[in-house]
């Protein structure tokens, strides 16, 4: 199945095989990609929508250009592409499992949240918020995943 056929409930959280977290607040962001397209970073990513349904990205196809034509001019940002993901449907996740995945991601990429000399108390509070999130939308707001705009 493709990303255009799914009917996602947004926001959607994405977790790459190396535990990065990505965020997609809407279909536009889910189907737009920049230079990471060449790196195949989305292949293997698990997507979890607001209803806790889950898919794995098995392939990505470029379907056109997205964004301003100015992005083709140096200094105006990298080019953006419209994409379609081929997805493998997986069993839905429990909220506890989604929180575990988010916590693991935050812990793996700790310096993204605290800098290299981060505040331990602040980081502990962030982890508590992850553990207490009552929905995917709340989890999304707590971890503030990268939406890769405009790169």
When pLDDT is averaged across residues 116-129 and rounded to a whole number, the result is 86
What span, in angstroms and rounded, lies between the C-alpha atoms of 81 and 34? Answer: 6
- Whether residue 149 lies inside any domain: the answer is no
For 67-109, what is each residue's pLDDT tens digit? 655 555 666 666 788 889 999 999 999 999 999 999 999 999 9
Range(s) of the domain holding residue 81: 3-143
Residue 12 lies in a domain: yes
Domain total of the chain: 1
Task: Give the pLDDT confidence score for residue 142 in this predicted structure.
Answer: 97
Q: Given this model, what pLDDT does residue 151 score? A: 42
Cα atoms in the 13 Å half-sphere on the side-chain side of 67: 21
């Amino acid at each position: 199945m493709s990303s255009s056929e799914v009917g996602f409930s947004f926001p959607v959280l994405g977790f790459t095989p190396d535990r990065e977290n990505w965020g997609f607040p809407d279909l536009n962001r889910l189907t737009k990609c920049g230079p990471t397209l060449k790196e195949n970073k989305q292949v293997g990513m698990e997507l979890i929508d607001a209803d806790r349904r889950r898919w794995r990205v098995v392939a990505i196809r470029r379907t056109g250009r997205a964004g301003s034509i100015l992005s083709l001019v140096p200094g105006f940002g990298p080019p953006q592409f419209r994409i379609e993901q081929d997805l493998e449907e997986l069993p839905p996740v429990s909220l506890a499992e989604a929180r575990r995945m988010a916590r693991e991601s935050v812990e793996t990429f700790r310096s993204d949240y605290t800098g290299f000399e981060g505040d331990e108390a602040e980081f502990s509070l962030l982890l508590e918020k992850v553990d207490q999130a009552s929905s995917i939308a709340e989890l999304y707001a707590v971890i503030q995943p990268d939406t890769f705009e405009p790169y």
